[in-house]
Structure 1
Amino acid sequence: MEIQIPNFYINMKEEDLEELRSDIWNDLPLPANLIIDKSIYDIDISYRGSYTRPFRKRSYFIEFIEPDMFNGGREIHLNAEYRDPSLFRNKLSLDFFYDLGVLSPKSYHVNLIRNDVPKGVYLVLESVDDLFLTNRDLPIGPIYYAVNNNANFSYTRDGRKKRSRISGYRQKIGNKEDDEALRKLIDIINTTSDMEFSKTIPGFVNINKYIHWMIGAVCTMNNDGFTHNYALYQNTHTGLYEVIPWDYDATWGRKVDGGIMNCDYVPIQGKKGNYLCYRILQVQEFRKQYKERLEEVLETKFTVDYMENKITALHQQLLPHVMNDPYKKRKIDKFKNEPEIICQFILDRSNYLKQHFSELD
């Protein structure tokens, strides 16, 4: 039986559509209408993403103008997931992080139709902003997007000094004082002695949540996720920073270009370019906590038994719609093989991590 997913109908004036097409790197929003379940929304729409913009199937950023809210948010991201043969690795990852107790955006799939032309299956991603916090009964606090690999919690990148301590971060919510607080965090990470670090850093970072995020990134094997593809949130009640995952399509055994990624690509310690990960794992107490929690996750959640039903459900939900996706239907055989590839990755990755536990002793 075909499992329905929502239809999103975007209607634009031809001149606005032509302007949108004329420059894929222009972030200037253009007016459009979005129809969802017979409700009409005035929206602004623009392309989103970096390396994905030249693809035939492009991703979009949508801001709701009138009404100015939809489903608890004022903006959403429509991800094409063009290079992911399964179209659901991103959602699978974000749901996995949620299961680990990590703050994570909600997501769901839709069929997108623009000016009566089917554009295929898209993933709707909740925006990480003040409403993201409100919807979770969390205090409003500064949020930063890690927009490039300079967001590595270090003074340097690839051996070269960065122009700014907070280079790589774009403030989504906050003010100049919050920028200064982030600079202080970077200073603490980079200047505190080994002896004092274990006592000092828990006053700035939610270590338990950070370790759970590290485990999610290490298990799903998002190489970019350690210095990119995340948001940083400071809880103003506790004063502690937390990491929120973002754009996790190149995971579960697939690279950014959609090719197979070997199960040993990311070491058990995570990507060495993330200086906070490195310093945390230098502390025996934190390293022990990371190892024990990782061992538990490998036995309970990062298993085929736990994940297979989730994988199968997403696959069966999307199958009839992918067959009608103008950009994916010619690769339907590849889509059909993805559950097997993901499950095999879970087995191989889990075995690899278990074989390298000794590196955490």
Structure 2
Amino acid sequence: MQIPEYQLFVHPSDRNELRKNIWQDDPITAKLTIGKKKYAIDLAYRGSHIRDLRKKSYRVTFSKPSMFRGAKEVHWNAEFKDPSLLRNKLSFDFFEEIGCLSPKARFISLKMNGKNEGLYLELESVDEYFLGNRKLPNGAIFYAVDGDANFSLMSDLDNKVKESLLVGYEKKYGSEQDEVHLQELIFMINTLPQEQFETEIVKYINVEQYLRWLAGVVFTQNFDGFVHNYALYRNGETGLFEMIPWDYDATWGRDVDGEIMEEDYLRIQGFNTLTARILAIKTFRTHYKNLLEDILTNKFTVDYLKPKIQELHDLIRPYMQQDPYVKENLNVFDHEPAFICTYIEARGNYIRSQLDVLE
């Protein structure tokens, strides 16, 4: 497998405009060459706290031609705080393997105006093209943009009653009627009597898929994943909402600053109002326990994951050596496969030790 090289050309005045205010979301125009193909694109910084970092991440929208690899929009992530550069890619692949919808990710080598900008992870945008590429039914997509996306009537940010049930969400694709469906979902999560919850909630959310997503968050230990770092897709045929992971670099034993996150940091019951209500039902709780046991046996093991981790590490190492932003961290990078494997072993043991709480 070879990592593709992207040649990006940005007018110096446009680049200065981008640098002048890193918090603006308005894009600049640029030219992109991949192999022998040329594209006109719109380019903007992406992310929140990561915009302050030396190595920027970008949102890319294709204008001419308007599509690239079946997508209108992609994201180039610097993965600057992850010393392995692998965690996002490893997480999305893991989610897909345990039966969840998940963005596709691949590494690219980026040059801007002839200068090496290093290694990036290209992420598929979660939008209508994401659905079309998987031949999924058309449906609404909402991004969870902050801590208010907690499936509660109360804000996680100020502990007050929300002014709107849409607070915390950004509609990426869909209609006003889809907003009504999302509000109805959150209202029902919070008002259904306990004796009706098991039979009624399955009319609003794909519980099987939700439990698989929950397992993915718990195994990778993405603490923010319950009120942030996800997208909601409402399947147009079934009318059921499904969860899609997003931004999983702070996982596999390291937090958002790249510091060590102990294997017992996140409880296996997770968080947020919907998770609590689902796991309060014995039928769902038992199914979740069985899912955890199956993944512990077949997917979340050092034997299974180590070859995948090492293959990715070997693939990107030559590019790491040339990356002007991270090449000085090569020694830490080389220890990361072993670090992640140690985390897998420890986290697996912790989850096994906690399975009884799901009885």
Which residue in 2 is equivalent to 1:298? 296
Matches of 2:316 and 2:250 in 1, distance apart?
Answer: 19
Please tell me whether residue 84 in structure 1 is matched to residue 82 in structure 2. yes
Where does 1:262-277 land on structure 2 (aligned, <5 Å)?
Answer: 262-270=262-270, 272=271, 274-277=272-275
| SS of match in other structure, 1:62 | strand
Tell me whether 206-215 or 158-167 shows the greater mean CA deviation.
158-167
| TM-score, length basis structure 2 | 0.98
Give the number of aligned pairs: 357
Question: Which position in structure 2 is the counterpart of 1:165?
Answer: 165
Give the SS at the match of 1:138: coil
Give the letter aligned to residue 286 of structure 1.
F
Within 1, Cα distance between the matches of 2:167 and 2:11?
Answer: 38
Query: Could you say what secondary structure the match of 1:19 adopts?
Result: helix
Deviations 1:276-310 (A, max 9, x none): 11100000000000001101100110000110111
Alignment of 1:22 with 2:20, yes or no, is: yes
Deviation at 1:9, TM superposition (A): 1.1
Equivalent in 72, 75, 84 of residue 74 of structure 1: 72
SS in structure 1 at match of 2:60: strand
1:130-141 pair list within 5 angstroms: 130-141=128-139
1:317 aligns with 2:299: no
Q: For residues 90-148 of structure 1, give each alpha carbon's deviation from its aligned partner in whole angstroms, at most 9, with x where no partner exists.
A: 00000000001100010000111111111111000001111100111111100000011
Give the Cα–Cα distance (whole angstroms) in 2 for the partners of residues 287 and 78 of structure 1: 38
CA distance in 2, matches of 1:252, 1:328: 20
Report the equivalent of 2:44: 46
Alignment pair present for 1:261 and 2:256: no
Alpha-carbon separation, structure 1, partners of 2:340 and 2:99 = 22
Question: Partners of 1:307 and 1:66 in 2: how far apart?
Answer: 39
Residue identity in the other structure for 1:94 = F
Counterpart of 2:329 in structure 1 is: 331
Instruction: Report the Cα offset of residue 166 of structure 1.
Output: 1.6
- Cα distance between partner residues in 2 of 1:347 and 1:163: 44
AA partner of residue 266 (structure 1): L
Please show how residues 98-137 of structure 1 align to structure 2 within 5 Å. 98-137=96-135
The structural deviation recorded for 1:157 is 2.7
Q: TM-score, normalised by structure 1?
A: 0.98
SS of the equivalent of 2:62 reads strand
Q: CA–CA distance in 2 between the matches of 1:355 and 1:160? A: 36
Q: Corresponding residue for 1:284? A: 282
CA distance in 2, matches of 1:86, 1:163: 41
**Is there any run of 5+ residues in structure 1 with no aligned partner, and where?**
none
Q: For 1:142 and 1:17, locate their aligned partners in 2 and report how far apart those are by CA, in whole Å.
A: 34
Q: SS at 1:52's partner residue?
A: helix
Measured in 2, the distance between the counterparts of 1:161 and 1:260 equals: 35
Which portions of structure 1, spanning 4 or more consecutive aligned residues, are displaced by more than 3 angstroms?
Answer: none
Cα separation, 2, equivalents of 1:65 and 1:21: 22
Match of 1:348 among 335, 339, 346: 346
